[in-house]
Amino acid sequence: MIAYAIGKGGYDGDGIRSALATLRNLPSVLGGTLTMGADHYTQISSAGLFQVQHGKLVRIPMPH
């Protein structure tokens, strides 16, 4: 998340903060995505739940 923000906003406190505030659907290492809300908290879970169905990994939708 921070590496993305530095890449988008530059290696500067204001740039990092601005980039984090506009973060949308960034893939998470836990299988979910990160999206920042207006209150600067993540709106979508950064964790994903997966199940093997018929030999394939299928993501299970998370309730909101």
**Which residue range(s) make up the domain with 20?**
2-60
User: 13-21 and 2-9 are packed helices; what angle lies between their axes, rounded to 10 degrees?
Assistant: 110
Q: How far apart are CA 19 and CA 13, in angstroms?
A: 10
Give the total number of structural domains in the chain: 1
The pLDDT value recorded for residue 1 is 84
pLDDT in tens, 9-63: 999 999 999 998 888 888 877 777 888 887 766 666 656 678 899 999 887 876 6
**What is the pLDDT at residue 32?**
75
Residue 64 pLDDT > 60, yes or no?
no
pLDDT at 62: 66
pLDDT at 61: 76
Please state whether the predicted TM-score (pTM) of the whole model is above 0.85: no
The owner of tokens 């998340």 is 1
DSSP H helices, 1-64, are 2-9, 13-21
